[in-house]
Structure 1
């Protein structure tokens, strides 16, 4: 049964919502879903993932299956990454753009068969992504099918993720499963797709399973979690984890007003592959140069940057940008954030300030992730 939000809107429950409530999680509305924001506490959950492992309910993410004769070419024309070089059993991060280059959504494409793909999209973009894809596939032999309600998605992330899951997995060798690769297996006797992907900056796995089997799978994982020191993790720590790894969040760091080139995602734009929606505009922007860039910064004074705070010149306080994401890093015990600034103020080491209430807090721009990214192989969401 849908959950009513404080504003009276009906929220969608994941197959695990009742279990989260029984565990005492604090539940909130997120993108129309009833989701756990924290269990024991954001900092404790964050540190568990960095040091041991955490278990996440990601069933609010959208799953769209695109298939049929010509599916590879049709989908390749909608995303910036190159699907022609994507192998069956391999996943790839990319974005879909508007004709003007703005980002409709960032997503992960899984090649399940030569002409069948699964797209994992952001919950807040699910409806518009589906409509956009249907519009561009109209009149072709390619179909798009929404599997969001049929599937649950459970993630196990952290340096102990493989050790935790290995006793439960049959039919797959987790050690041989490369980063951004996936395979079919049984986990605790339950058929699942096991993918070595994640959003935390740690090694880990995402498990796609039939919605009706989600509770049994979660409980089996939690039985192994105790000895491993793993804990359930909510959306709060998921956000601080992804920010420490400098992964962008749709709706804050990227949206339809930002382009992948401005956001430091030029590495997911494959111009040589040929035409795709937004290519012409992005090629023009590349040739003339971007006017702003998404940068990462650390505070040199005590303070916590938050979304919407002004980024200003350190002397005089003239505005130069705005914080898109910010937090107190549980690992660094230091304020960190992302924000757009003019390209001539975007070099690593550049000094700036964050306006927090009535004070300017000194900050400097840094390169790359705020903490080491420990995924297996090169990060699929790394920043320059």
Structure 2
């Protein structure tokens, strides 16, 4: 990845606490390239209007931009139709929509919902609560010692009583890619649907929902160079057609009577109220940006960087890396001896290095790992080997600092 790409991210050209910024927290949110920022600015300066309603020029332009972004999302993830793309506030909202709308009609007492212990809370709590409301049983595909799940364990966990399988394509802690396509085949063989949390996969690799054969797929714009506050849900058209909306108001109605109402066709029946128009514009621009570079090229860059990060971090005495060796994504989770991850992150921040520390919205996984929290360095297309060298040098100084403080 050449330096010209990094230069397209204005925020990276600054000092933090007297040091050049090293941003290693893209799994939480990515930075935004200039063309995304400018696309949002241009929308507000030239096209700002509500969509689908007005017949004036600004309304037509805004509608074209909004629906054009939907077309880009559909193409980007391989959906058959824009009718299968519902704009949401992000992955969390998309997953909750499936759990709240599809879930109660599909799951009853005695049925099973299958997840893993490593799910982000947004793909864990909705199914946990659905199981509590319906009397269904929540089951877990077991984790191997290195944090992976296997097709064999999925086969043993999913049964004819399973109605929903919910799994992340990529773990936001363990740095592993799950065998979603194979698990989808198992789920379908047992008559279940599979829901995929794509928050950590969509920004980093080529995704084809038809090849995966998933029934639902959720993504967030802010993790893929787009703005916060918008994402999308892909759903098979036949399933979305049967689902009822969970938010009611303007935009999503066909006809409103005194005692009953009818809804618009897909996907608009799930998009009540004024939508996140500028966000959709930004998401569309982000997809353009990523496609110009190429998802395969982005993935190759990250895998190379992740291997380098794993090698360099392994040189730090007393540092524990979580997850299997041989990174599948640009993410390394670790702890530095007995130093609390929050203290590690604070010292690194004093040197201009931004990492994430905490439970990463994965408390069941933290308990499985037998830790309360971890530190995480996550990489993206704008990171370099020099960023990793800065991280390693700072970690060594952090360790020395706390050794001196304790001693």
TM-score (norm 1): 0.30
TM-score (norm 2): 0.29
Larger radius of gyration: 2
Q: Which has the higher contact order (CA 8 A, sep 6+)?
A: 2
Comparing both structures, which one devotes a greater share of its residues to strand? 1
